[in-house]
Chains A and B, each alone.
Chain A
Amino acid sequence: MSADLRLAAAVASGKAAAATSRLLRRGGGTTIPGDVALAVDHGALRKLAPALAGGTILVTGTNGKTTTTGLIAGALESTGRRVLTNRSGANLVFGLVAAAVADADLRGRPRSDVAVFEVDELHLDRAVEETRPRLVVVLNLLRDQLDRSGELETTAARIGGALRKLPPDAKVVANVDDPLVAGQCRGLPNLVPIGVDADDFTLPGLPHAADARACPVCNAPLRFSRVVLAHCGTYSCTSCDFVRPALAYALTRIAARGIDALRLDVDDGTQLDAAAGGVYNAYNVLAAYAALRSLGVDAEQAKQGIARFSPRFGRQETLRLHGRTMRLLLAKNPAGFDEVLRTADELGHAGTYLIALNDRVADGRDVSWIWDVDFERLARRSNDSDKQPRIVASGTRAQDLAVRLKYAGVPTDHVTVEPDPQRALETAARIAHDGEEIAVLPTYTAMLDLRAVAQRAGAVDHFWQEPRTP
């Protein structure tokens, strides 16, 4: 086979751009090489992806992409495959190209056997066209920062359209506990529906941040017999025959082991242990398991691979700083924030919080969404003011957060406003009790800021040197 000179040139220039970008410390060089490579050969990804013997797996949805991608990639690696993945969350098409270019040799041939990419919801259709995936995982469709994504229904329709462009034998692992996901997956030929049939962690009703209250088919109200989180659970339409589809893989029991570990019973008899905490991660672990099984990995190997997972980049990472242990719980939108608050409160019994709200583009310029988050939870804990948590409010919009907490009923003398990340970390360390773990809840760029401080103090690695999962 003659070498593709254009592709080889694209790979070479992409690699050069990556090296230059790392040298200049321009954020790890995770997407710029993709731009460069695409400029040289527009078809770079279209050519590289089909050359992977094991094909491409795409993971999309509002929340949980990075964790689920890490679970699948790590488990596949543990079966001896060489896995290509976009590890630093560079999940637009350019990020996929950059990862593929870095993986290829100078003749434009991939070194890896299989690719596992997380893909932004709005980039799924292009990623499907360019990579022709074997399997797509759809996790959930929750309200994200609206100024970025537009309206949720538009995003849902885009994902539905992309799924209809899949190769005929491609499988779709879908969390059908989310009625918006189930609605978009209706009629797909190789659907692997997953969901929760356990009552260990449920909410008394739909939380304020729930979006999908209406039937995606007829728009009549949905009736939920079980709410697990946000608008995910067991439901049926009050008017037409739309119900949660029958599940191919169901969780029958969810057990939390502290803030950072789960033990899950799958209805096929497998018990999964994962170093990922909180109810939201139960869905991510189940999605990874269902994806691995659908790729032909046997139950025991999938279980072993999932057990080796370690948390990634801001998702339940711990830092040792100023003599304290700090637990990073990234949250990017109302449903995500509700769930990390629930985890820190119910499972971690946190007494000291550092909550950091930024309004940069990647966070969403509009911070209105904090009013949809159940911060009232922090005031409900106890009538005894001494038992209520102490909170450091940080980030470019620390003052907005302080207002939100005040109106949630958190006493104002329990809230310290400290916009600067370094001083916020110092303050949290100072007010925490000995032996207490501090719950750090940042938006995306606030997480980068906090991590940069921790990194200068030697508490975490550079993110482009993020350790690979073993």
Chain B
Amino acid sequence: MSTRPLRIGHLYPDAMNIYGDIGNVRALTQRARWRDIEVETLAIQDGPADLQGCDILFMGGGQDRDQSRIFRDFGTTKRESLHQAIAQGTAVLAVCGGYQLLGHSYVDADGHELEGLGLLDLRSSAGGDRWIGNVVVEADNSLQLQPSTLVGFENHGGRTHLGPGLTPLGRVVVGGGNNGEDRGEGVLAGRVIGTYLHGSLLPKNPALSDWLLAAGLAHRDNLAEPAALQPLDDAVELAAHRRARELAMAERGRGPVPRRR
């Protein structure tokens, strides 16, 4: 059966790119190509877009000025399309600002409320300080990641609280995470992942990259369950994963330490 290329939609690649999050898209496209899976990436800008046609959607974080514009554009032109895409099984990775956008609202430091998409039952607000540092997370069991840890770097002033029905992406071992209270980091809802982790996240966490790729392929091929992917030699990626974990563990015990400003 001949199939179309795996389609990865990169939302607002120019504005929402401040923490090297482009690495997540590179990780997905390269890991697909190394398996001879044809990929196309679409840059999705302001205005209406066919998000249902994408198998994987990625959105990073932006500077404040861009982020408020994008919250507005998303709300007016893309909310319905994203809602449909998620309902039909498109995989989503939303980092930082993108993660906050999936929820009901974000309340900034001055008390102004930015309306989110309301696709997931979560709320975010500005905290008193920024959490900046290396993070280690024990990923949720249902992901069956090998290794089971996720490593990354957080840099956020926002605090996110999940509604009662939602599961975090993982439990914080080192770092701040969603809110510093419940040890949760990010959110995992079906094929949707939200997180505060940069690093970029996917290159050093190849198992999570492959989880997203498998979910995207399941969407493309109309499979109820994702199929196993051909294994790759991940020695280089896993060395970086171990190194990041080792550096973060050396900072352990600090908890969510507020730093700077």
Chain A residues within CB distance 8 Å of chain B = 143, 146-147, 150-153, 208, 213-214, 219, 359, 365-372, 396-397, 399-400, 402-404, 406-407, 409, 412, 417
Contact = CB atoms under 8 A, between A and B. Distances in A.
A365 B153 contact: yes
27 contacts: A146-B19, A150-B261, A152-B63, A208-B17, A219-B69, A359-B247, A365-B132, A365-B153, A366-B132, A367-B153, A368-B20, A368-B23, A368-B153, A370-B20, A371-B23, A371-B26, A371-B200, A372-B17, A397-B243, A399-B236, A399-B240, A400-B204, A400-B243, A400-B244, A403-B236, A407-B27, A412-B236
Contact of B239 (A399, A404, A409): A399
A171 B236 CA distance: 52
A366 B19 contact: yes
Interface string B8-33: 00000011011111110011001000
Contacts of A371: 20-23, 26, 200, 203
A236 B69 CA distance: 21
Contacts of A208: 17, 22
Contacts, number: 88
A407 B30 contact: yes
Nearest to A409: B30
B19 A402 contact: no
A365 B239 contact: no
Given A367-B153, A403-B237, 11 more contacts: A143-B18, A146-B155, A151-B64, A366-B155, A366-B199, A368-B23, A371-B200, A372-B17, A397-B243, A400-B243, A412-B236
A264 B134 CA distance: 45
Contact-size category for B: 35 or more
B165 to A, nearest CB: 32
B261 A417 contact: no
B109 to A, nearest CB: 13
A407 B14 contact: no
Interface in B214-259: 236-237, 239-240, 242-244, 247
Contacts of A146: 18-19, 155
Given A146-B18, A403-B236, A407-B26, A368 B199 contact: yes
A114 to B, nearest CB: 35
A29 B81 CA distance: 60
B65 interface: yes
Interface in B164-206: 198-200, 203-204
A355 B30 CA distance: 22
A407 to B, nearest CB: 5
Contacts of A404: 23, 203
Contacts of A150: 261
B20 to A, nearest CB: 3
Contacts of B64: 151, 153
Contacts of A213: 14-15
B98 interface: no
B158 interface: no
Contacts of B69: 219
B247 A369 contact: no
Given A150-B261, A369-B20, A407-B27, A400 B240 contact: yes
Contacts of A219: 65, 69
A312 B133 CA distance: 32
Contacts of A367: 153, 199
Given A403-B237, A406-B236, A365 B133 contact: yes
Contact of A402 (B15, B132, B240): B240
Nearest to A415: B236
B90 to A, nearest CB: 23
A442 B204 CA distance: 21
A367 B17 CA distance: 14
